[in-house]
Structure 1
Amino acid sequence: MPTGLLLPVAHLQNVTVTYTDFTINPDTYACFPSEAVPHPAVQVALLLLAFTLGFMGNFSVLVLVGCPQFQRASLGIYLLNLAANDLLSALCMVLRAIDASSGWTLGDVGCRVLSMLSDQALYTGVLLLGGLCMHSLRRANSHLLCTLAWVFGFFIALPAVLFSRVSHLSGHILTCQQHKGRALELPLSLLKNLVGFAIPPLLFILSSLPYVCFRSNDWKNKWEKSLILSLTLAFTIFRSPYHISAFASTLMSGNIIEVNCHLLFSTERAIGVTQMLSNCHCFVNPILYCLLWNKIREFLC
């Protein structure tokens, strides 16, 4: 054995190490996960509140507009389908409340179903609003357009079944989320969030054109266009901020933009807050129906 590799014990006791020339590089250590924003208890309370208000409001609209005594026109067909779509979003709130309270307990299949239903509610809602904008510009077959909105929304949401799975959040707690690590998942996630924050403002501008250019004294059409304008504006205000934050998170996941811990934590907090705002949208439309849809007011009175 070579003796040159051995040091006497006395020498080891006198060895000192100084770190005066050592500097920490923030790019070389991992970011530790931050606390959930909002707090899980607040998330559960808001989700259950959104479900209760959304279910009661949209179910009431379905019963009211669906009864034989209610005179339905083309606008009523669109709003009936919007209420059904918002009711679907409200039902998803219950499953998300379970995920936020104690972790995901419904297995991998339940996670995939939840993700697909959430995406379908987004895409179908955007397509139905597009049909409403077409209705404000030119009358079309409302039954056909609503059916196409549900069919296309279903097929566009199918990739969520492939890319959603249960993963470990911390310790033994599981969560349901869509992953963006594979090659095909990144562009699909970018497309979803682009649809969520870019198309609603365009629909709002499109729906505002006939309202701004409207010069007739027909108050019936004015109320109709005011309702369509308000629905597109509400969708933009409540839905777009979340998808802007999720779009930025997707860009960071794909290393398209430079990532640091501060930017990562800020994006996570923005997603948490704006997702709660997006969840509240499911009970906003029934309020607008009662305020601006004159047929509902006349029927109730």
Structure 2
Amino acid sequence: MSSSSTESFEVETSNFYYYYENYNDAPKPCSKESVKRFAASFLPVLYTLVFLVGLMGNILVIVVLFKYKRLKSMTDVYLLNLAISDLLFVFSLPFWSYFTIDQWVFGTPWCKIISWIYVVGFYSGIFFIMLMSIDRYLAIVRVVFSLKARTAFHGLITSLVVWLVAFSASVPELVFRESFDEHNHTTCKPIYRGNFTTWKLFSTLEINILGLLIPLIVMMFCYSMIIKTLVHSRNEKKNKAVKMIFAVMIVFFFFWTPYNIVIFLQLLEMIGVLRDCQVSRNLDYAFQVTEILGLFHCCLNPVIYFFMGEKFKKYLKMLFKNWHLPGDICQWCGAHITYHTESTNSFHTQSTGDQDAL
């Protein structure tokens, strides 16, 4: 997976030699100077914005979880891990931001580590969104089974599995990423020795399948069953629940599908199916835009799973009750509540039909 838009800036003529038996059939190098200039002025600002918003939002989620929720349910465990995933994701952005402005000055070890952290955050974040969909499915559709299944212990076990899968899927970043000089410019990107086409194909399919196809299928199944159950129930909050469910699906699909489509098209370019230079430039522009779109998704996770829920508004107001400005902000966003201390039981009680956890 590309951890930075600069990976696609330089098109090496030698790369094309993998795909053409006749040297004379190889395409001429395609200039990407305009793409690099666009990235240098466009990406650092957006990387910084995503970093600041994602950092503040997800830290708030973690603080609220530890201070008020106490991690006594499967949902709380998944929310915590999702916030940690997003923090890993945004942690790498200052490095890529500097890279787009100048060049990679942090050496090969940090090139590998930062790329690995970025990809681990990418996969784990998507996997935990998928797990939360399953959690909601069990809570609403399989109510009796969920009484035994939806425990904090089971949440911890499945979370460990997710982290192991994310770490394993990200190993190629540690193996292939290197910092090296290219056209008097130090860069950080994968160097696939041996069969370049095979590794690039594997990398792209891995992202498309693990990062989009499987999670999307699972989410569509879970939420379609949830909607079917809620439509036939007499729950007064079902309309709000259905809206939040659609929000989760639409946001995930909207923010990540374009990115997956672009990297698949870039694969077609690299294997020689797409050869036009202007098409190549347009794909580089599209890659930058869709990557930023995907990055913004980690900023929206706190909004989707917390800020739209009444309970989080209450906890946030309690957290900021001695801070005048944040209190005004909470009142502005609609959190008009009365301060009171809840009992420990009220914090820890699981309700299989509770829609605020969405």
TM over 0.5: yes
Task: Tell me which residue corresponds to 2:116.
Answer: 116
Q: Figure out how many residues of one structure are paired with residues of the other and give that number.
A: 275
CA 1:225–1:151: 2 relative to 1, 3 Å:
farther
CA 1:26–1:32: 2 relative to 1, 3 Å:
farther
1:274 aligns with 2:273: no
SS for the counterpart of 1:177 is strand
Question: Following the alignment from structure 2 to structure 1, what is the Cα–Cα distance between the partners of residues 112 and 96?
Answer: 13
Task: Tell me which residue corresponds to 2:167.
Answer: 154
Amino acid at match of 1:210: M
SS for the counterpart of 1:36 is helix
Seq. identity, %? 21
User: C-alpha displacement at 1:148, in angstroms?
Assistant: 1.1
Runs of 5+ consecutive residues of structure 2 not aligned to the other structure: 1-23, 139-145, 318-336, 338-358
Q: Which moved more, 1:245-254 or 1:149-158?
A: 245-254
Question: Following the alignment from structure 2 to structure 1, what is the Cα–Cα distance between the partners of residues 31 and 56?
Answer: 41
User: C-alpha displacement at 1:31, in angstroms?
Assistant: 1.8
Question: Following the alignment from structure 1 to structure 2, what is the Cα–Cα distance between the partners of residues 66 and 296?
Answer: 13
SS for the counterpart of 2:233 is coil
Task: Tell me which residue corresponds to 2:301.
Answer: 285
CA 1:92–1:219: 2 relative to 1, 3 Å:
farther
Task: Tell me which residue corresponds to 2:203.
Answer: 189
8 Å CA contact 2:204, 2:264 repeated in 1: yes
Amino acid at match of 1:298: K
Question: Following the alignment from structure 2 to structure 1, what is the Cα–Cα distance between the partners of residues 236 and 69?
Answer: 23
Question: Following the alignment from structure 2 to structure 1, what is the Cα–Cα distance between the partners of residues 199 and 25?
Answer: 29
8 Å CA contact 2:54, 2:87 repeated in 1: yes
User: Is the radius of gyration larger for structure 1 or structure 2?
Assistant: 1
Q: Deviations over 1:2-49 (max 9, x none)?
A: xxxxxxxxxxxxxxxxxxxxxxx9975332224226431221111011
Runs of 5+ consecutive residues of structure 1 not aligned to the other structure: 1-24
CA 1:229–1:203: 2 relative to 1, 3 Å:
farther
RMSD in angstroms over aligned alpha carbons? 2.7
State the TM-score, normalized to the length of structure 1. 0.81
User: C-alpha displacement at 1:104, in angstroms?
Assistant: 0.8
Q: Which moved more, 1:127-136 or 1:215-224?
A: 215-224
State the TM-score, normalized to the length of structure 2. 0.69
Amino acid at match of 1:173: H
Question: Following the alignment from structure 1 to structure 2, what is the Cα–Cα distance between the partners of residues 71 and 28?
Answer: 57
Task: Tell me which residue corresponds to 2:84.
Answer: 84
CA 1:232–1:124: 2 relative to 1, 3 Å:
farther
Q: Which moved more, 1:216-225 or 1:244-253?
A: 216-225
8 Å CA contact 1:40, 1:100 repeated in 2: yes
CA 1:73–1:160: 2 relative to 1, 3 Å:
same
Task: Tell me which residue corresponds to 1:7.
Answer: none
SS for the counterpart of 2:34 is coil
SS for the counterpart of 1:59 is helix
8 Å CA contact 2:50, 2:299 repeated in 1: yes
